[in-house]
Structure 1
Amino acid sequence: MLFANLLRRRSSSSLPLLLGTVVVLWFCSSHHVTATGSKVEYLPGVQPEGPLPFELETGYIGVGESEDIQLFYYFVKSESNPSIDPIVLWISGGPGCSSFVAMTEELGPLLFDLPKNNWSLPTLSLNPFSWTKVASFIFLELPVRTGFSYVKSSKQYRVNDVETSYQAAEFIRKWLEDHFQYQSNSFYVGGDSYSGITVPMVVQAISDGIDARFKPLINLKGYLIGNGVTIQADNNFDDTFQTARGFSLLSIEQYKSAVACKGKDCLDELGRLTTGEHYYWPNVVGEENDAKRFRGYNVHAFDRHLIFKAALIASQWMNHDNVLEALHVRKGCGEKWAKCRIPLHYERTVHDTRPYHANLSTKGYRSLIYSGNADLYVTSLSTERWTKSLNYSIIEDWRPWLINNRIAGYTRTFSNNMTYAKILGSDHIAPTITPADCFIMFKRWISHEQL
């Protein structure tokens, strides 16, 4: 998703497809639309069977002119003390990847199990390292057409980075109007991958609304970004090749050839490194390892093949009629759920978000920027470089951060309330590969503790 050029498909069959879309959307728009969410007490396939052991709400909130854009969300209450715990608005990357993925593959309360076969409904188990144990999360399907978010009208709708950020800010104001009991809770915005672009822009849009005294006032405290894109550079993969060399994926001769590549040759080399037998999978050490991801819990072992099958497994579950009904998805609205929407009518208009980080720093917002050290897509080297390039003084210089006397990674803290954390043995996306370490990292940071 980060490096592919997505071309809009054109074919002779586009006319009947368009007419079909108009009919579906007319049927959908004829229904009464409300902004309130619905409680989800049971989800098919969740193990153990029975009522969910956490509180889940789903719903739509309309934004934009005539509320034409309907944004779908999953709200998971904190399993600790939701009345006072922080709330995190989470936006997955892509752009166009569903935040349900974060809820079931990364940091949320559920994890898909290894399928027993290809025809039965996939099952899910509880994630013992869910970040919702210490904070409430709103997993938002953004931008429009992501997941179950849709446009009410039949017109082709194209959005960009700036429009999307202000739609997210409008969403959260309306959500807090409906959920007034949470207006005093500390509020954060989080995301990963391409949302390294989206998150600081959304925080800026929310901050602008606070300055304009838009109601309700949001108790904005900061943001967090994992393995996030910050500078969108074309065909500049020097850090990727340096990381690959550091993990012995390239010989010295191959490394020299790679750094000298130009244009398509660089993309070919990147493809070789990130697919098939050459792809590097970090060997996680310590409390968790490849053989058994979690000990003492009825969840699947960490299986490399599962990650490659994740989109198919999730799609099979999400598009089942019983699941759609349980999640209160509107019939006839939008499109069939997909892990990442391709093609997506989206214009990338901001190519460097460092000015956003600098501006937010002047307002005193906290930030956590974290990276897996084995990430070949958005390398920890590039993240270290841009955080340092903001030129804030270092309050706490480079040091290891520990879990049970084991080095989990390295960190430094800047005078602008920004913390950078590198996670050893992790990748893109970090909580998928090292869930225990990432949970402890988040728990410490959100609680204002030292990593």
Structure 2
Amino acid sequence: MSLTIQFLLLLLLVLRSHHVDSGSIVKYLPGFEGPLPFELETGYIGIGEEEEVQLFYYFIKSEKNQKEDPLLIWLSGGSGCSSLHGLLFENGPVAMKSEVYENARYYLYYLIECWANNERVREALHVQKRCNKTIPYNYDIVSSVPCHMNNSISGYRSLIYSGDHDITMPFQATKAWIKSLNYPIIDDWRPWMIKDQIAGYTRTYANKMTFATIKGGGHTAEYTPNETFIIFQRWISGQPL
């Protein structure tokens, strides 16, 4: 299992339906031989006064200390329907055999969507309804920077990381919005290491905010899974990068 902490992966699968009873144990998945080697639960969480909106989730238990390990909520960005890519490409504990489709990443994404919409897979995951892609957006968020500021000044630790090869959202842009917060620098720009090799650079700010680049990293964690896992493991356990 690639992540040793328990996490709740909310798939942004918005349903306009009545309340669906949540909490189903998944022991087998089509395409995976034998029982799953981890504890997986899927279900729905109701949102709104009448729970008219349902969010589908995966809950995977820690393989270490389930009583003391922290809970991680993973939300993928964008206006997509599902965070399945995060589960299969970025944080585990299952993964597609990407080496079979080397240099064909987007084709692999397409195959995953086909797999996820297969009726046998949906039945195994206890997916009750198909997602609603006609979501009425009542307002637009111009910037998420105020949200980051509110969380950090409220005492929440934060780790912001960027791949230094990300051409979609370059790490210089990440540095710019962090700079706009005007937080004092606690630990200035320095390399962080893996086995005596530079894996990126990091800077620590006031209000428990840490920024780091990942050498050779792209737009998401899947491009450098080993480095991303190590940096997250150090941060979540309170160790210096």
TM range (shorter): 0.7 to 0.9
Partner residue, 1:321: 119
Partner residue, 2:187: 396
Partner residue, 1:33: 20
User: Number of aligned pairs?
Assistant: 226
In structure 2, give the amino acid aligned to 1:322. Answer: R
Once the two structures are superposed, residues 59-108 of structure 1 have per-residue CA deviations (whole angstroms, 9 ceiling, x without a partner) of 01222132111110011112222221011111111122411210001112
Note the 1:355-374 alignment, pairs <5 A: 355-374=146-165
Contact between 2:101 and 2:108, CA under 8 Å: does it hold in 1? Answer: no
Partner residue, 1:446: 236
Once the two structures are superposed, residues 284-326 of structure 1 have per-residue CA deviations (whole angstroms, 9 ceiling, x without a partner) of xxxxxxxxxxxxxxxx378231x21133111221122221111
In 1, the alpha carbon distance for the partners of 2:137 and 2:56 equals 18
SS at match of 2:166: coil
In 1, the alpha carbon distance for the partners of 2:230 and 2:100 equals 20
In 2, the alpha carbon distance for the partners of 1:388 and 1:415 equals 12
- Which structure has more helix as a fraction of its residues? 1
Normalised to the residue count of structure 1, the TM-score between the two structures is: 0.48
In 2, the alpha carbon distance for the partners of 1:326 and 1:54 equals 15
In 1, the alpha carbon distance for the partners of 2:100 and 2:112 equals 17
- Which structure has more strand as a fraction of its residues? 2
Tell me how far 1:348 sits from its aligned partner. Answer: 5.2
Tell me how far 1:347 sits from its aligned partner. Answer: 4.8
In structure 1, give the amino acid aligned to 2:103. Answer: R
The structure 1 residue matched to 2:30, chosen from 41, 44, 50, is: 44
Once the two structures are superposed, residues 187-229 of structure 1 have per-residue CA deviations (whole angstroms, 9 ceiling, x without a partner) of xxxxxxxxxxxxxxxxxxxxxxxxxxxxxxxxxxxxxxxxxxx
Q: Which structure 1 segments of 5+ residues have no match?
A: 1-24, 115-299
In structure 2, give the amino acid aligned to 1:415. Answer: A
Normalised to the residue count of structure 2, the TM-score between the two structures is: 0.87
The structure 1 residue matched to 2:130, chosen from 318, 334, 339, is: 334
Partner residue, 2:201: 410
Q: Percent identity, aligned pairs only?
A: 49
In structure 2, give the amino acid aligned to 1:101. Answer: H
Contact between 1:96 and 1:344, CA under 8 Å: does it hold in 2? Answer: no
Partner residue, 2:49: 65
Does 1:437 find its partner at 2:227?
A: yes
In 1, the alpha carbon distance for the partners of 2:186 and 2:101 equals 37
Q: Compared with structure 1, are the counterparts of its residues 421 and 372 closer, same or farther at alpha carbon in structure 2 (3 Å cutoff)?
A: same
Contact between 2:81 and 2:131, CA under 8 Å: does it hold in 1? Answer: no
Tell me how far 1:45 sits from its aligned partner. Answer: 0.8
Q: Compared with structure 1, are the counterparts of its residues 448 and 112 closer, same or farther at alpha carbon in structure 2 (3 Å cutoff)?
A: same
In structure 1, give the amino acid aligned to 2:27. Answer: E
Tell me how far 1:357 sits from its aligned partner. Answer: 2.3
Structure (1 or 2) with the larger CA radius of gyration: 1
Does 1:310 find its partner at 2:100?
A: no
Q: What's the RMSD between the two structures over aligned residues? A: 2.0
The structure 2 residue matched to 1:55, chosen from 39, 52, 61, is: 39
Once the two structures are superposed, residues 403-451 of structure 1 have per-residue CA deviations (whole angstroms, 9 ceiling, x without a partner) of 011111000001110000101101111x110000000000000000000
In 2, the alpha carbon distance for the partners of 1:302 and 1:88 equals 30
Structure 1 moving runs of 4+ over 6 Å: none
